[in-house]
Amino acid sequence: MKQIRFWIIAVLLLMCSTTVIVSCKSHRHPIVIAHTETEYVPQAPDYADTTMWVTRDDDPKGTGADVFYIVSTWEKDWQTGDGQVCHYADVWNPNHRRHMGIEINGVAEYMSHGNRFYAPFYRHSTIDGFVTMNEDTILRRTRLSMHDVCEAFDHFQQKRDKSRPFILAGFSQGGMAVVELLKHIDDETYRQLVAAYILGYKVSPEDTLTCPYIRPAKGEADTGVAICYNTVKDVKYVNPVIAATCIGINPVNWRTDDIPAQLHDTITVTLSPDYHVLVVEGYPGSEYRPYKNFINVGDIHSCEPWLYKECLEKNFAVRTRAWREKNSISQ
């Protein structure tokens, strides 16, 4: 009788929930994502379908890099027509792609200059998971998202001209994805890396210990390095789930000490050596409204891809040139 009861319970559990298993090289074991019948997981992207990409080729001379950009978080939790809750963007929903495209096309305006630009749509985790400020919830919900990014990158790497170097860049949840991609790549792929730009997200001590490819940038032109920065008005506003990082560099003067830099003549940007974040003066960031007391509340999280865009555009070219000179590839 006990055995019969056990099987009845097991069947009921299976009827009430489903499990999605995905894998990524950055994780030693397959990722198991369980969700109940009241939760909806959108259809996976097909990265052989050009609908899943925003691309630009602004490198007519063939002397630039291939930029792989990962977009940030654009969706809130939403419901399907039959009432199922979804914690992910739906890449097959034109409105969701349009939302992501706003940021992607904005950064492409400067990141694609002299380069070939590629940005995949992916099932990014909604903002609601991050607002919980619970690291376990964030990790659980972003596993599927990071799997999509790994799949997109593998497709990108398979199709592109591997004689060219590449750049990784991502903002917020996209910055998290850059960290995961550095855990995902192998030695051969790493040798093709100009630099990885982690904009508005953290690198943890555990990340640096477990991933040999996370090598903090020390200046303007070193290659194979990770560039990480987060912007605040004061160090007391460091967001622990986003910006509590162990590495950082000032993208205005490319220093890792506390010597300040001037941006646009009126903004002072200083790296805090203790917190590894950028402390800005003369810039209120008022165009970015606070969201649920989570971001833009003393931090200026939403400014990261935009405030320093001229610095980033120039630095892409500087590091790409340095990589090509180091690897003796024609300019």
Question: How far apart, in whole angstroms, are the C-alpha atoms of residue 200 and residue 168?
Answer: 14
Q: Which residue has the tokens 């903090």?
A: 216
Long-range contacts (CB closer than 8 Å, 24 or more residues apart) made by 36-41: 37/84, 38/83, 38/84, 38/85, 39/84, 39/85, 39/86, 39/87, 40/79, 40/80, 40/84, 40/85, 40/86, 41/86, 41/88, 41/123, 41/144
pLDDT in tens, the chain (331 residues): 434 343 433 333 333 334 444 446 544 334 445 555 578 999 999 999 999 999 999 999 999 999 999 999 999 999 999 999 999 999 999 999 999 999 999 999 999 999 999 999 999 999 999 999 999 999 999 999 999 999 999 999 999 999 999 999 999 999 999 999 999 999 999 999 999 999 999 999 999 999 999 999 999 999 999 999 999 999 999 999 999 999 999 999 999 999 999 999 999 999 999 999 999 999 999 999 999 999 999 999 999 999 999 999 999 999 999 999 999 854 4
The predicted structure's pLDDT at residue 35: 52
* CA-wise closest residue to 203 among 228, 183, 236, 186: 228
pTM over cut 0.85: yes
Domain boundaries, the chain: 29-325
Partnered with residue 169 across adjacent β-strands are 69, 197
